Structure formats: C-alpha cells, structure tokens
Structure 1
Amino acid sequence: MRLNSYDDFSPLKEVILGSAVNYVERIHDLSFDMFISDNLTGARGYYASITDWYDGSSRAKRNEPHRLALKKRFLDELIEDIEGMAEVLESLSIKVLRPMSLDPRPKDVATPAWSAPITPPLNVRDNTLILGDEIIETPPTLRARYFETHFLKPIFMEYFTQGARWTTMPRPMMTDASFDPRNIDNAAPNIEVPLDPQASPYDVGPEIMIDGANCLRLGRDLIVNISNANHALACDWLERHLDGRFRVHRMHKLTQSHIDSVVIPLRPGTLLVRSEKVMEFLPEQLRRWDVIVSPVPDVSDYPQYDNDDPIPASPYIDLNLLSIDENTVLVNDACKTLIQVLEENRFTVVPLRHRHRRLFGGGFHCFTLDTVRTGGAEDYLS
C-alpha cells in the first residue's frame, strides 16, 4: 500500500515493528542523562535517580561514556514478547514490516566529535515522524541512535518507490554544547544537570534535536511538546517545512521529551491521560475532549530488577498502548486496572505480554511506526 498515516487511531493496515536482535549494551553518556527523566509528579519512588546508577568514585566522571551490558535472559524474553506482538498484529489482518537486524559483531558509531555503541531499531517511533504521505527522519537526541533509521531504509525505499515523500531533518553535531540543559528547572525536575560539559572544536551551540514521539498527530494538526531550545529549533523547522500542509501547535513543558505515555488520543473526541494535570498543557481545543484518566500504576505490575539495572522508563509506560482502530487497543496484559478502565469506557482490549517495558524503555506505541491507516487530513480541532 501507499504510505498514508495522519493519526494514531483510524484503522491500522500496515506497521513497522522494531527489533531487539543483538542488543548487547547501552551507553550512559551526557545525551542519555539529558534524555531520561520521569515527567509530571506522582511517579517518584518507583526507581532510583540517574545518580544512583553510578558509584561515588565514578560520579565525578558521569559525563564520560559508561557502557552497561544487557542481561541475556531479559533480552531473550524481550525478543520473545516482540515476536508475540507480530503474531497478534498479523492475526488482526495488519501487515507487519520489520527492519534490518543489527549485525552481531560489536560496532560503534563514530563522528568527528564522539563515538557510541550502535543500538538496534527497537523503539522505531522515536526517530521517524510519518505525516500523511511523508517520511520525516528526525534528528536524534541520543548519540547511540544516530544512524538507527538506516535499519529502516529498505522499507522507506519501498514506500518511496510507491510515491511517498522522504525527508531527513538536519543531523546534529551532538557535542556537549549541542544540548540545552535549561529544561532542568521546569519540565523535568529529576533530570541531571551536566556536571562538566566539555568544549569541542565542533561546537555550534544548541542544535535542532527532537524525537517523533514528542509529537501528537491529529489529521491536519501536529502538536509538538517543547521543553528546551533543541525542541524549539526543531519545531521552527517543522513549521517552515509543513507550511500550508499541516498546522503545527506548540505545547510547552508537558514532559521532558516524549508524550506518548502522557496523552493518548484513543478516538476523535476522547483522550487517555496520565493525570488531570495534563489538560493544563494541551491546546484549548483538546481540553474540550472527553478524558479518561489512567489509574495510578502499582509497582507490583512490573518486574523488579537488581540495583545495577537502570530503569529508564516511567511506571506509566503501559499507557504507551497501540490503537488498532477507534474501538480496539493493544494493552499490556499485566496492567489489569488500565484494561478494566478502558473496557468500562467501551473499548475492546487486546491484552498482550510485554514483560520488560521499563527496563528497555518502550511500550507498544514506541515499538511500532504506523505507516498505513485509513484516516486522512481531517480537522479534529475546529
């Protein structure tokens, strides 16, 4: 089919599902520490702060890259759960496309300014934004994911040959000076201030950086969460690039970055939100929609890990559900209270196992990139 995806809730026909194959290690560097944070109050105490992932002697060197091997058992279970997701999607008559797998031989991505281990294309939602018939590769916010969209190129090329537009936003240098830390005091209260950002001959100052998961797609409207200068520059680019085709709305400081575990449009006129506070940040037109407030997650809903296993994702990660259509949603089978709330609001819930969503920092929406839905450039905000 031809590329066509304007929203997150009209009937889904084709989707890219990520891969965790050969996911060996992750890196903690300045880009990781600037990215990871729980957002909005109410979820503190579920996991340690970033500083707890370093012992006292290494804390002073926190900005230096620190590699952490992933435990094979958790990775094997993650892969098993993803394959189960592929089977369920196909059983719902959805075409599932898969990216190229990461080569098993360890490799790093390197630029003139830094190097990092390559990570596989797991959370494919993050570095690509699909707007109608256009693929937009977004400028990465994590160094280890700099070339992640390369694993999707065979799929993108096929859509391109069928008539899709294909654009890549400017690629950042990503030196320490590229990241704007000013969100520390307003959007992300538990994020870590860089202790000693290092100067580089490649510094250009704050750069265009944003993830596709910062954005909420509603037909002809695009709502963009902005919490720092990097996001604001990216929104400038999107406004100029999309002028005349989409209306871009700025939403300030809702979260530190991604919004797809905070506000989820389930159908026209209905939102699922993390808390009622979310509504204060939304465009005025969305505040008139019906709201389903998520139950507060119970820590017992999640696997518990040893202290040396960093937990990047918020305990609200299970709001990161995938809509099959305006009445059907894919939800983690461990989240019983959320399933009950959705069913009480007349949604058909397809429960699906995903054990290590907090450990690997992604839910069903993160793992997927919907490329064909039946919806069009509707005006949902008038």
Structure 2
Amino acid sequence: MKLNSFDEWSPLKEVIVGSAENYISHERELSFDLFFHDNIANDNASRSEWYYPRLNSRATSAAHTNGRRVPIKDRYVAELCEDLEGIADALRGLGANVLRPLDVHPTTSEIRTPAWPASVVPPLNVRDNTLIVGDEIIETSPMVRSRYFETQLLKPVFQRYFQAGARWTVMPRPMMTDASFDLSYVREGTAGGPTEPIVDPQASPYDVGIEMMFDGAQCLRLGRDIVVNLSTAHHALAVDWLERHLEGRFRIHRVHKLSDSHIDSMVLALRPGTLLVRSEKVAEKLPEALRGWDLIVPPEPESDNFPRYDDDDLILTSPFIDLNVFSVDPRTVLVNEACPELMRKLEQHGFTVVPVRHRHRRLFGGGFHCFTLDTVREGGPEDYLG
C-alpha cells in the first residue's frame, strides 16, 4: 500500500504496532527524567488519585538517578508482548493490515554517540519518533537518549513505503548533551504537582546549546491542519523546522504547555467534530476553531483497575493513560478493557468500542495510540478547521 495518513480517525487500512521484545531496563539520566518528570514524582497526598498509586519515595530516591539502569522484570515484558499481540490481532480482525518493526536483538544492550552512551529501548511507542503527514514519513528529533536510534528498527517498513512513492525525511539529529535541553518547564513547576528535581546539567565538549527535540505524539493531525503542543525552547525550534518544511502543504497551530510534551493523553480527535479530552479546561488552550467541537470527558474510574507493583518498579504514566485510545474509523475505537466507565461513555456517544487488554501501561509509558503508527487511512487533506 502507498503511505496515506492525514488524520486520526479515517478508515484504517495499514498500521505499525510496536515491539517490546528484549526490553531490559530504564536508564535514569537527565533526558529520561526530563521526559517523564511529571509522572515519576514523589507521592503527593494533596492529590486525589487514590485509584492510581504513585511511585513511593524509596523508588524515587537519589539512588535511581545519575545514569542508573533500573531493571524491568521479565514477567512484565512477557505480558506486555502478549498484550501487543492482542492489539495486533484486534486490528487485523477489524480489517487492517498490521506491520511490525524489527525487534531489538538480545545482544544489543547499549548505543553510543560521541557525546554519551545509553541503554537501548525497543520500538514500542512507535508514535513518538515518527510523524506521518499525508504521503510523508518524518523521523523526528528524539528527546530520550535511549531512543536515539529507535527508528532504525522501522527502516524495513519505511523503505517499502519509500519504494512505493512516499516522501521520507529526517529532522536534524541533536547532539543531545545536557546543554541541549531547556529545563525551564520543569524548574518553574507544572500543573502536575511537585516533581523530582532535575539534576544539574553537566558540561560536555560537544555542547552546542539548545537544540530541536520533538516527538510525533505532540501532534494532533486534522487533515490540512496539525495542532502541535510545545512547552520548551527545544520543542519550539523543532516546530519552527516543521512549519518551514510543511509550508504550503499543512497549517501548523501551536498550543503552549497543554502538557509537558505529548498531546494524546490530553486530547484525541475521534471523528470530525468530536474530541476526547482529559477535561473541559483542555479545550480552552486549543485553537478557536476546535473549541466548538463536541467534547467527551471520561468519568473518573469507579474502582482501581491498575496492577499493583513492587517498590522498585518504576511507574511512568499519569492516571490518564487510558484516554490514549486508537480510532479504527469514525465509529470504532480500541479501548483498554480495564476501563468500563470510558467504554460506556463512548458508547453513549455512538461509538462501537472494541475492548483490548493492556495491563502494564503504568510501567511502559504508553497506550494504544502510542503503540501504533497509522500509515494508511482512507482520508485526505480535508479542511476541518475552515
């Protein structure tokens, strides 16, 4: 099939589902802590997230910083791999062709650039480091060192699309030293509550100052329009690049500090005129043309459906991770089977809900939208915002 993906809801024809094979550890260093800082905070008793226990103080102690690799238990990875197969099977059952990236080979435990070494992360959250805009693949500038070469594991798929006529672009790759990051967002505090301190950045002979770094999951694709969340100077540089690169083909709409980075557990477009949002306040930061769309706000869970973990298990996601649903067409949505309240709410709005198992979303930083990269949909460059 030829690459064609302009929005989040048109009938799905082909999709990449990520891989978690040989996921061994998380590496606690500056880029990782910056990326996940809102969600690896110490317990905050003033918050009402009783149904979502946060990481306790022992697990977030200083012993876990300064480049320490935090191992992931084999059983969690095995169960995640089972759940990924279930996601792929569900999508095949709905008529989509499912592609998979290369697995990380068990002998590949580390990557290295002139500036730093890092452990390897498999291509699980394939939404992050790639943005599909129409007939173009854009490999974005990574924000986490362990994921620097992640798109290499998608090369066989990208090569096939290129041979079928797709454009294929790579954003400038950052040196990604400590000096590359704008730390103002985390140092000024956020709506997410108290966070772990970000350690003092270290000088490097490869410092070049703030660089562009950005994920595809910061974008909401709406035909000819792309809504982009940015919270830092390194995001802003990347959006400058994106705006210039897509000039004349797509319109970029900037929203500021809707979240620390990703947008897809804050707002998702389920069909033209309908948004799934974390809260009605989210709409206040969206472009004016979107504020009149119908809003679906999920109810709070009535029970705690999250697995219990040990103190040394690192929790990476917010309690809103299950909003990270995936649309197969304007009527059909994949939802975590552990979320009956969300499923009922979507059904009340006329959606067909396909429940799929995803147990360990707390540990691996992603939901269904993160784990998938929709490469072929029926839609085109429609004008939904006027």
TM-score (norm: length of structure 2): 0.94
> Is 1:323–2:327 an aligned residue pair?
yes
Partner of 1:26: 26
> Is 1:249–2:253 an aligned residue pair?
yes
- Shift of residue 299 of structure 1? 6.2
Indicate conservation of the 8 Å contact 2:13/2:97, yes or no: yes
Indicate conservation of the 8 Å contact 1:297/1:315, yes or no: no
Indicate conservation of the 8 Å contact 1:297/1:316, yes or no: no
Partner of 1:179: 181
The match for 2:215 among 211, 223, 245 is 211
**Separation (CA, whole Å) in 1 of partners of 2:53 and 2:256:** 26
**Separation (CA, whole Å) in 2 of partners of 1:177 and 1:298:** 44
**Separation (CA, whole Å) in 1 of partners of 2:146 and 2:276:** 31
Task: Specify the code of the residue in structure 1 equivalent to 2:131.
Answer: L
> Is 1:152–2:154 an aligned residue pair?
yes
The match for 2:137 among 135, 138, 157 is 135
Give the secondary structure class of the aligned counterpart of 1:236.
Answer: helix
When residues 108 and 355 of structure 1 are mapped into structure 2, their CA distance, relative to the original with a 3 A threshold, is same
> Is 1:168–2:174 an aligned residue pair?
no
- Shift of residue 42 of structure 1? 6.6
Indicate conservation of the 8 Å contact 1:33/1:50, yes or no: no
Partner of 2:94: 92
Partner of 1:293: 297
Indicate conservation of the 8 Å contact 2:55/2:315, yes or no: no
**Separation (CA, whole Å) in 1 of partners of 2:129 and 2:137:** 11
Partner of 1:105: 107
Give the secondary structure class of the aligned counterpart of 1:208.
Answer: coil
Indicate conservation of the 8 Å contact 2:302/2:341, yes or no: no
- Shift of residue 190 of structure 1? 3.6
- Which residues of 2 match residues 1-382 of structure 1 at below 5 A? 1-38=1-38, 46-48=52-54, 52-55=58-61, 58=63, 62=65, 64-184=66-186, 185=188, 187=190, 189-297=193-301, 300-382=304-386
Indicate conservation of the 8 Å contact 2:6/2:222, yes or no: yes
Indicate conservation of the 8 Å contact 1:312/1:358, yes or no: yes
- Shift of residue 276 of structure 1? 1.1
* Cα deviations by residue, 1:307-341 (Å, 9 ceiling, x for unpaired): 11111011111110110000000000010100000
* Cα deviations by residue, 1:245-276 (Å, 9 ceiling, x for unpaired): 00001000100010101101010000010011
- Shift of residue 25 of structure 1? 1.4
- Shift of residue 43 of structure 1? 6.6
Give the secondary structure class of the aligned counterpart of 1:340.
Answer: helix
Give the secondary structure class of the aligned counterpart of 1:222.
Answer: strand
**Separation (CA, whole Å) in 2 of partners of 1:292 and 1:128:** 27
Give the secondary structure class of the aligned counterpart of 2:330.
Answer: coil
When residues 269 and 83 of structure 1 are mapped into structure 2, their CA distance, relative to the original with a 3 A threshold, is same
* Cα deviations by residue, 1:79-112 (Å, 9 ceiling, x for unpaired): 0111111111111110000101110114211011
When residues 2 and 303 of structure 1 are mapped into structure 2, their CA distance, relative to the original with a 3 A threshold, is same
- Shift of residue 162 of structure 1? 0.5
Give the secondary structure class of the aligned counterpart of 2:359.
Answer: coil
Alignment identity in percent? 61
- Shift of residue 347 of structure 1? 0.4
- Say how many residue pairs are matched: 377
Indicate conservation of the 8 Å contact 2:130/2:140, yes or no: yes
**Separation (CA, whole Å) in 1 of partners of 2:130 and 2:219:** 11
- Shift of residue 183 of structure 1? 0.8
Give the secondary structure class of the aligned counterpart of 1:195.
Answer: coil
Indicate conservation of the 8 Å contact 1:138/1:211, yes or no: yes
**Separation (CA, whole Å) in 2 of partners of 1:257 and 1:136:** 18
Indicate conservation of the 8 Å contact 1:299/1:315, yes or no: no
- Shift of residue 49 of structure 1? 5.7
**Separation (CA, whole Å) in 1 of partners of 2:236 and 2:266:** 20
When residues 146 and 50 of structure 1 are mapped into structure 2, their CA distance, relative to the original with a 3 A threshold, is farther
When residues 177 and 189 of structure 1 are mapped into structure 2, their CA distance, relative to the original with a 3 A threshold, is farther
| Cα RMSD for the two superposed structures | 1.7
Give the secondary structure class of the aligned counterpart of 1:172.
Answer: coil
Indicate conservation of the 8 Å contact 1:34/1:193, yes or no: no
**Separation (CA, whole Å) in 1 of partners of 2:94 and 2:267:** 25
**Separation (CA, whole Å) in 1 of partners of 2:307 and 2:255:** 33
Indicate conservation of the 8 Å contact 2:56/2:311, yes or no: no
**Separation (CA, whole Å) in 1 of partners of 2:201 and 2:31:** 11
- Shift of residue 24 of structure 1? 1.3
**Separation (CA, whole Å) in 2 of partners of 1:51 and 1:183:** 23
